[in-house]
Structure formats: structure tokens, C-alpha cells
Amino acid sequence: MQRKTEKLVPSGSQTGFDKFRKSLRTQRELWIISIPIILWVLLFAYYPMYGILMAFFDYTPGKEIFQCPFVGLKHFKSFLTNPAIWQLLRNTLAMSALSLTIGFIAPIIFALLLNEVGHLKIKKLVQTVSYLPHFISWVVTGSMVYMMLSSEGILNGMLLGLGLTDKAIPFLTQGSYYWTIYIIVNVWKGIGWSSIIYLSSISGVDDELYQAGAIDGLGRWGMAMHITLPSIAPTILILWILGIGGILNAGFDYHLIIGNSATQAYWDVIDTYTYRYGVQQGYYSMSTAVSLMKSVIGFALVVLTNWISKKTTDMSILY
Amino acid sequence: MKKQGILAMVLVIVLLSFPLVSCSNTGSRGTEDGASTPAEGTPEATKPASVKTNVFGWEVPEKTLEITAFNAGGNYAPSEEQKTGRENMEKYILENFNVKLTMQTTDGDGTEALNLALASNTYPEIIYWMGYNMVLKFKEQGKAQDLTPYMDTIGKDIKEKCAETYPLLLDDDGKLYYLPIEQGALMELPDYSAHIRYDEWQQIGSPDIKTPDDYYNALKKILEASPKTPNGDARYAMSLYNTMDYPVNFSGYWGLKRGWKIDDNGTFTNWAFTDEGKEMTRWFNQIYRDGLFDPDAFNNTFDDWKAKFSSEKVAGAIGGWWISWNAGHEVWQTLDPNTPEDKRYIQVSFKAPEAEAAYLTGKQKYGNGYTIITDKAKDVESIMKFIDFQATEKGLALFNWGIPNGVTSYKDPARQVKEWNIDENGNWSFDEEAKKQFVNETWDYNDEAVVGNGTYNFFSSSNRWSDGEYCIWGNQMWYSENKWKTIMMNNMKGTIYDATPMILRQKDENVTLTETAISDAWKQGWPTCVQSNSDEEFEANWTALQQAMTGAGIETYTRVMEENYQNNMEKLSK
């Protein structure tokens, strides 16, 4: 039986669909293996997206979405005109800004420093120990923070014992300390884990560059600044762009565990507000509207940042 | 290539089979302990074919009546004794009543789990310990059975127990869709009080405590006499824990009722806009400025507070009547049986000089949770009969005092735990040994749980029974036989009132969101006022609190409260 022959078309004039068909044919085993994951993504990531419609209806649990009254942008308006919105935005943006600055830079510095450690065993030990906080749950972390910072905690005990203060400092009940504690705890918890990707990038830097740098008279600082850092710049940029997309995410578990009523004015962020008003009360429409808004804004920021990056550095992650 | 193709197909089949196998498991989601959402009910029960009556007066059906109930109370984290108690109760009811009870629970937030159950249509035939808003959601969607037809027949015991509160339970059409749990009230039993340590109070000369300043001065004198704990730690006059409803609990000492000032015309004013509320806040601020307020007061969980209280780091307390006993002498006497008898707290009351009375305990008779029979129930009549049995005195005894005649203790297998006895003729009595232990306060509340009390209460009444002596709580009887209960009852006289008409149960989305916003406003604002460092700072923070409450919608909410009050008063007068 003669094989059906394809009409040969120069590759430059192939359409996208032609390329897709060709890929299906030449890589069919890979496509077949990918079927379960594709189905999983369609079923669990795309299909539930129809639930976004809840944001435009007054959804009541137990009813179908289209059985509920259509209210348009009511939930968006009610969130944006809520008197609490300014406090929520302030807290969210403040803590995100801290995460995107201090929280973002710390793992990079840590990775650079760790890269300079000559002794391999010590390097691995430090690396392993630095990961461990990442695996500690927020509940346990909350207990540790309380042990350290409560009025009868370790830190106040030390300060009082050394005579540096004559009464306990209310770290956990004064709002002015909250953001500082938040970023310190987040850096402690995430610095090791986040540095993995930078260490991985650093390990991919060509040794010849370092040799050339040595010949040119660069010391360790010079090599870090002029070779290592520029080499991992694409990784930094990718993570930065993705980080910007999450600017309206400023923690959740942490605030519920460590926050209290005395400091609520400083820790109440969009997510905790949505949880309290939307999820706990069963008003899913409101929480869906707020989450949708956050996702759209986050996506827009990612696109914008990506465009700026492409214009200025010719690096992008999207197109 | 052919081999690769075959290998690829095999991999796909293997990868697909895992989710398909797990998806085909149609059992309940999660385990019966800690399930996230309840699963659908168990197969239908059939009508009893023959009648046999047990010692409780229950007509035992020939075919087992199976009831699956979702406990929507949430945060279900039973101790080993409680788990054992639940198993014991299930076994006892099956053996003696031929009723198979199965409980589904959630270790998360109950309302959240219930909303998810409603959304996914996965809930069993009974849901209990629901909030009123959730009852309404189920009712509006036709998922709660109309129980009205049963209330004069097989539900008559329930109706009788609800007594004068029954009309308040009906909707605007005069129908009943739910049953209350712990309906009614012991009107002589205080829920809230202030606390002072009896031995320390005697040491400073047993001063009269009539006003808030008297109380604070007494605490200060106690701290002057004993500024440190036995371990050498600093002591404070007052501490709090984060689940306290501060304005509702505290403003009663300044003459407000559940945080509201109500005039003769039924006009409501919220505590944040009254002189009384401001004085109450200023009183706490003074304790803070004197350095005698626990710096972590607003961060404490109840367990944190209890640990401090047990360690004698806190001299006073304002809250539930039981907290100082639970965290005080019950701990000390367990750790050291030779603890002096007087080293314990007593409940005291005081009121601001201008206050009409100290309105500390506003009782409400609606119940502390509600039960519905859902549209999934196939035999509503049989289920109603079972719940009605719980409203009889033997039913109240069984489900609140637990299994009679003895259950093996969890701690000491040689010992039997029981609160009451019933013989083969159905004659029952409270166990004398148990009564002695309750009166002498030696009853082991942890071990008591093995009798399974309070596990499957679909209905209960908090009122005292027809004999005027018994009630559902073993430790709320025979006050006159216990010195400390007598002191409590005497000191707290006049502080209890009926707040049933004040309770706002029917809330639409706007009211619920406004209520949450108001709660957010005072939860943030009140601690700031209390922790002010000067009069000027206090005034500024107080103004900010009022502005936050106004922005949250307190005026609208106040009108809703007034309207609700008027409606309830009208219903009660019928």
C-alpha cells in the first residue's frame, strides 16, 4: 500500500497549524504521554474558570449560577467604595513593596555570598540549614514568633536582662512593629528556598569568564559584580516580572496566625478581608469579584513589566 | 518507533487510571472526623413494622433507623475521652434504640464547610449546630423540611419545652423549619462576672466591691501585697484573650445591655456613642497606663491567658463565670491536692455609680445552635420522633447526662463513670456519688466525656425541668449545697436579664456585611483606645473609633436592631 505523501511546503511558509500538525506527527509519543496532564489542566485549571461568572451574580450556595440574580459590577463597586479599601490597599502594597525589595534582594545576596564559600561541606551545610525554615508551617512559625517576641518572650527577656529597656516592648501588640516583623519572618523563612534558583543559575556560569576576569585583575568582589551578577540577570528579571504580578498578594496565613485585633490596622490585607467577608460568610460572589480584580491587575502588571523589560533590556518572558 | 508508541500508550493508561480510580470512589469526602464537607446521607430508614418499648419509653423499630448528621459546629477536635464517648453513645443507641447514628464533622470553620456543602449539594439528612443564617439559606432553597405539621403530634414534647419562646421560632408564615439546641435559659445562672481571688481579697481586708473603681483598687492592693508570682514573675491586674466580645461583655458593668443603651421608647444607642462606653474604655486605659495591663492581652489566645492565669500572673479577670475556676483552682488542686481551700476565685459584680444595674448576663432563649432535617431525609417522621424523644426528660437525661448505669472510665478501667441510673422499669434517679462529686467540685469533666453526653443533641432545653431541680448540666444543680456556688449566686443577683427580644437573627447580606464591618471597626479601634498613653491620645483614638464605626454603617445597623426588637416584643406579647 502506498503511503500517502505530504505535499512538501517550504518551512518558512508553513502556517502555525501546519507546524502543529507536523509536531503531532513527528512527536506523537510525547503528545500521547502529555494527554493526562493536558486533560488535568483542562479539567482543573480551565473548566472551573466558568466560576468567575459568580462575580457578576448574587450567587447563593446551593443554586446554579444562572439561577441567581445578575448584578453586573455591583460587587466590584461595593469593594472599591468600601471605606476600608484605603487601609487594605496601604497594607497590601506596603508589605508587597517590602517583599519585592528586601525580600527579593535578600536571596540574591545570599546566593552570591554562598557561592563564594570555598569549603564544599560548609557550603552544603549552610545551604541545607537555610532551606529548613521553608518547610516549617505558619502555625509553628507563629508559635516561634510568639515565643521570641511576646512581652515575656526571649527578646524582651534579653533586653530587660541587659538593662536596655525598663519595660517589655509590645512587639506583637503595637501595629508599628508589624511590617518589620513580617518582612524579617518572611526573609528568614524564604531566603534559603528562593536562593536555590539563583544558585542554580550561578552554577551555569562559564568558568572561562571567571578565568578571564582573573586575568583582567578582578578580585572576588569584582567577579561577583561584573561576572556573576550580570550572568544571572535574566533569572533575576524573570522572577522580578513574576513577582510584580503578585503585588496584590501580601500574605494570608501569616496574618491570621500572628496578627491580632490590636494590630489589625496594619495586617488586614485584601486576601484576609476577602476571606472574612466572602468565604467565612458564604458570600462567594464578593470574594470572586475581588480575586478576579486582583488577577486582572496582576496580569496587566506582568504584561506591562514584561514590555518595559523588552524595551529596555531586550529580555522578556511572554513574547 | 512502534515500541515507543506502545510504551507511551501504557504510560498514558497507567497515568489516567489513578485519577479515574480515585474519582470513582463515591464514599464520603474525607473521614468522619475532620471531613471538609459532609457527604450525602445514608440509605432510607423504613417505617417500624412492630412496636417494642424500651426502658426510656422509646418505641424500638424493627428495622434499624439510620441517621447521618453533620455537626456544623466546626473546629471539631475531640479528646480521646470524647471520641470514646461518642463511640459509646453510638453503640448504646444502636443496642437500646435500634437507631444507628453517624456523625460527620469538620475541623475547620463550620459555616464555611456548610456553605461548601450547600454549593456542592453534599449534606446528610440532619445538620445540627447551625447558625441561623445558614438555616435560612437552606430554607430558602427548599432544603430544610417544614416541621410545622409535626409539632402538635409527634413533636409535641419539643413544642412544650419551647413554651413561650415557640412563637419566636416561627417564620412570618407561622412555619417552623428548624429546632433549637439548648433552647431556654436558667435565669438564675449568671454567664458573666468579674473575679477576685478569695484568699487575697481576705488578706487585704475583704473590702466592699460595688463600683469599677472599688474592684480596680482591690486588685491594686492585692498586687501591692503580692507583686510577684511564686516563681518571681511580674503580675498584672488584668488580662484578656482574643475571643472575648469586649464591648458586649464589659459595658454591662456600666449599665448597658449587650453593648446597647435602650431607652423606654426602644431607641438603641451603641456603646461607642455613649458616655458609659467611653467610661468603660477609659477604665481599661487607666489600668494600661498604670502598667498593670498585660501587654499581650490582645494577642492572647484563651490557652495563653489560661497559662498566665494559672501561673498567678494575672490578679483579676472579667469574663465567663467559669474562667477563673477552670484556669485557677481546678488547675492548682489537680497539681497539688493540698492547695488551701480558699485559694480560689469568687465571682463578684459591680456597677458604675450612675448605672441602673449591672446588666452582665443577657440570656436569650432561642438556643445556641439549630438543627434542620434536610430534603435528603427519606423518613422525616421517624427522625422527628427520635428528636422529640430527646425533648422528654429521659431523653434530656440520656443525651445531656450521658449513658446511665455506668461506662468504663478512660483513665481507670476499674472505675465506672455515670451521672444517673435507670432501672428496667424505667425509674430513674441522679446518681448520688455523681451528685456528691458535682457538689464537692471533684467531678472529673474530662473523664465524664466517656458517657457520650452532648454528642448527638439535635434538640435540648436549658430550662430547669418540671421538678424545679434538674437541668441538663450536672454542675448547675444544688447550688445551696456548695459554698462557692452560693457565694456566686448571691453576688450575681440582679445582673441577669432576658435579652431574647434583642437578639438579631434574621440578617440579609447587607446587614451581615455591615455587622462584620462594625466588628472590624471596634476590634481595631477599641484596643487602640485602651493602649493610649495620654488623655489627648485617648480622645483622638476614641474619635477615630467612632468615625470608623460610623463609616462601617452603625447607624443603619442600629435601626435594624430597633426594628428587630419591636417585632420580637410584638410576637412575645401575642
Q: Which of B9, B19, B299 sits opposite A173 (nearest CB)?
A: B299
Residue B288 touches chain A, beta carbons under 8 Å: no
Q: What one-letter code names the amino acid at B471? A: C
pLDDT digits (tens, 9 = 90+) for A166-218: 888 999 999 999 999 999 999 999 999 999 999 999 999 988 999 999 999 98
pLDDT at B43: 37
Q: Which of A40, A152, A173 sits opposite B298 (nearest CB)?
A: A173
Give the distance from residue B308's alpha carbon to the nearest chain A alpha carbon, in angstroms: 10
Same domain, B207 and B167: no
d(C-alpha A24, C-alpha A20), whole Å: 6
Distance of CA B250 to the CA centre of its chain: 19
Q: Can you tell me the mean pLDDT for A87-109?
A: 94
Kindly tell me the burial class for residue B114, based on how many C-beta atoms sit within 10 Å of its own C-beta (0-12, 13-18, 19 or more): buried
Tally C-beta pairs within 8 A across A and B.
Answer: 117
- Which helix or strand (DSSP H or E) is residue B514 part of? helix B509-530
C-alpha cell at position B54 = 424500651
Task: For residue A277, list chain B residues with Cβ-Cβ distance below 8 A.
Answer: 513, 516
From residue B505, alpha-carbon distances to B18, B81, B158, B169, B268 in Å are: 47, 34, 21, 10, 17
Place of cell 491594686: B220
Cβ atoms B73, B369 nearer than 8 A: yes
From residue A33, alpha-carbon distances to A27, A47, A273, B16, B536 in Å are: 10, 21, 42, 10, 71
The answer to whether residue B42 sits within a structural domain is yes
Cβ atoms B475, B453 nearer than 8 A: no
Same domain, B174 and B246: no
Name the CATH superfamily housing domain A86-138+175-313: MetI-like (1.10.3720.10)
The answer to whether residue B16 sits within a structural domain is no
Give the distance from residue A14's alpha carbon to the nearest chain B alpha carbon, in angstroms: 26
The answer to whether residue B15 sits within a structural domain is no
d(C-alpha A270, C-alpha A290), whole Å: 8
Please give the residue of chain A at the shortest CA–CA distance from B112: A280
User: pLDDT tens track of chain B, all 574 residues?
Assistant: 567 777 777 777 777 676 566 555 443 333 333 334 444 444 334 444 456 899 999 999 999 999 999 999 999 999 999 999 999 999 999 999 999 999 999 999 898 899 889 989 999 999 999 999 899 999 999 999 999 999 999 999 999 999 888 988 999 899 999 999 999 999 999 999 999 999 999 999 999 999 999 999 999 999 999 999 999 999 999 999 988 888 888 999 999 999 999 999 899 999 999 999 999 999 999 999 999 999 999 999 999 999 999 999 999 999 999 999 999 999 999 899 999 999 999 999 999 999 999 999 999 889 899 999 999 999 999 999 999 999 999 999 999 999 999 999 998 899 999 999 999 999 999 999 999 999 988 888 888 899 999 999 999 999 999 888 999 999 899 988 999 999 999 999 999 999 999 988 888 888 988 999 999 999 999 999 999 999 999 999 999 999 999 999 999 999 999 999 998 888 877 6
pLDDT at B506: 80
Structural domain count, chain B: 2
pLDDT at B176: 96
List of residues 6+ apart from B319 with CB closer than 8 A = B192, B195, B240, B244, B249
Per domain, the residue ranges of chain A are 86-138+175-313
Range of the domain at B560: 192-362+500-573
Q: Angle CA(B243)–CA(B249)–CA(B250) in degrees, nearest 5?
A: 120
* Residue B262, strand partner residues: B268
List of residues 6+ apart from B252 with CB closer than 8 A = B192, B258, B358, B359, B360, B361, B362, B495
List of residues 6+ apart from B528 with CB closer than 8 A = A262, A265, B541, B544, B545
C-alpha cell at position B224 = 501591692
Residue B296 touches chain A, beta carbons under 8 Å: yes
C-alpha cell at position B442 = 471533684
Cβ atoms B497, B361 nearer than 8 A: yes
Q: What is the 3-state secondary structure (H, E, C) of chain A?
A: CCCCCCCCCCHHHCCHHHHHHHHHHHCHHHHHHHHHHHHHHHHHHHHHHHHHHHHHECCCCCCCHHHCCECCCHHHHHHHCCCCHHHHHHHHHHHHHHHHHHHHHHHHHHHHHHHHCCCHHHHHHHHHHHHHHHHCCHHHHHHHHHHHHCCCCHHHHHHHHCCCCCCCCCCCCCHHHHHHHHHHHHHHHHHHHHHHHHHHHHHCCCHHHHHHHHHCCCCHHHHHHHHHHHHHHHHHHHHHHHHHHCCCCCCCHHHHHHCCHHHHHHHCCHHHHHHHHHHCCCCHHHHHHHHHHHHHHHHHHHHHHHHHHHHHHCCCCCC
Q: Can you tell me the mean pLDDT for A234-240?
A: 91
Same domain, B356 and B210: yes
The answer to whether residue B10 sits within a structural domain is no
d(C-alpha B134, C-alpha B398), whole Å: 28
Give the distance from residue A247's alpha carbon to the nearest chain B alpha carbon, in angstroms: 24
d(C-alpha A276, C-alpha B517), whole Å: 10
Same domain, B95 and B227: no
Please report, for the domain that includes residue B411, its CATH number.
Answer: 3.40.190.10
Residue B297 touches chain A, beta carbons under 8 Å: yes
Same domain, B346 and B209: yes
The answer to whether residue B433 sits within a structural domain is yes
Q: What one-letter code names the amino acid at A245? A: G
d(C-alpha B565, C-alpha B499), whole Å: 10
Q: What one-letter code names the amino acid at B546? A: Q
Cβ atoms B425, B394 nearer than 8 A: no
* Residue A70, strand partner residues: A57
Q: Which of B15, B299, B552 sits opposite A260 (nearest CB)?
A: B299
Cβ atoms B71, B402 nearer than 8 A: no
Same domain, B404 and B470: yes
Contact A277 B516 (CB under 8 A): yes
d(C-alpha A5, C-alpha A26), whole Å: 15
Residue B60 touches chain A, beta carbons under 8 Å: no
Cβ atoms B528, B544 nearer than 8 A: yes
d(C-alpha B471, C-alpha B395), whole Å: 12
Residue B10 touches chain A, beta carbons under 8 Å: no
The answer to whether residue B24 sits within a structural domain is no
Give the distance from residue A63's alpha carbon to the nearest chain B alpha carbon, in angstroms: 7
Neighbour count for residue B142 (Cβ, 10 Å): 10
Task: For residue A150, list chain B residues with Cβ-Cβ distance below 8 A.
Answer: 296, 299
Measured torsion, CA atoms of residues A42, A46, A51, A55, in degrees rounded to the nearest 10: 180
Contact B12 A172 (CB under 8 A): no
d(C-alpha B458, C-alpha A231), whole Å: 68
Task: For residue B143, list chain A residues with Cβ-Cβ distance below 8 A.
Answer: 62
Same domain, B153 and B54: yes
DSSP reduced 3-state for B506: coil
Same domain, B94 and B139: yes
Mutation site for A-interface testing, chosen from B107, B524, B530 by largest number of A Cβ within 10 Å: B524
Same domain, B212 and B136: no
Q: Which of B15, B512, B523 sits opposite A261 (nearest CB)?
A: B523
Q: Which residues of B258-277 are buried (b: 16+ CB within 10 A; e: fewer)?
A: bbbbbeeeeebbbbbbbebb
Task: For residue B4, list chain A residues with Cβ-Cβ distance below 8 A.
Answer: 29
Give the distance from residue B352's alpha carbon to the nearest chain A alpha carbon, in angstroms: 26
The answer to whether residue B486 sits within a structural domain is no
The answer to whether residue B17 sits within a structural domain is no
d(C-alpha B3, C-alpha B65), whole Å: 58
Q: Which residues of A215-243 are buried (b: 16+ CB within 10 A; e: fewer)?
A: eeebeeeebbeebbeeebeebbbbbebeb
Task: For residue A160, list chain B residues with Cβ-Cβ distance below 8 A.
Answer: none
* Residue B345, strand partner residues: B197
From residue A47, alpha-carbon distances to A52, A58, A285, A294, B41 in Å are: 11, 21, 18, 20, 28
DSSP reduced 3-state for B551: helix
pLDDT at B18: 65
d(C-alpha B17, C-alpha B4), whole Å: 20
pLDDT at B411: 87
Measured in degrees and rounded to the nearest 5, phi and psi for residue B383 equal -65, -40
Which among B352, B309, B314, B326 has a CA at the least distance from the CA of B209?
A: B352
d(C-alpha B72, C-alpha B127), whole Å: 7
Contact A61 B116 (CB under 8 A): yes
Same domain, B373 and B305: no
Cβ atoms A134, A107 nearer than 8 A: no
C-alpha cell at position A171 = 512587639
Same domain, B202 and B118: no
Task: For residue B8, list chain A residues with Cβ-Cβ distance below 8 A.
Answer: 28-30, 32-33
The rounded mean pLDDT for chain A is 90
Same domain, B88 and B178: yes
Give the distance from residue B28's alpha carbon to the nearest chain A alpha carbon, in angstroms: 18
pLDDT at B535: 97
Q: Of B425, B445, B477, which marks where a domain is finished? A: B477
Q: Of B477, B492, B521, which marks where a domain is finished? A: B477
Cβ atoms A185, A145 nearer than 8 A: yes
Cβ atoms B443, B434 nearer than 8 A: yes
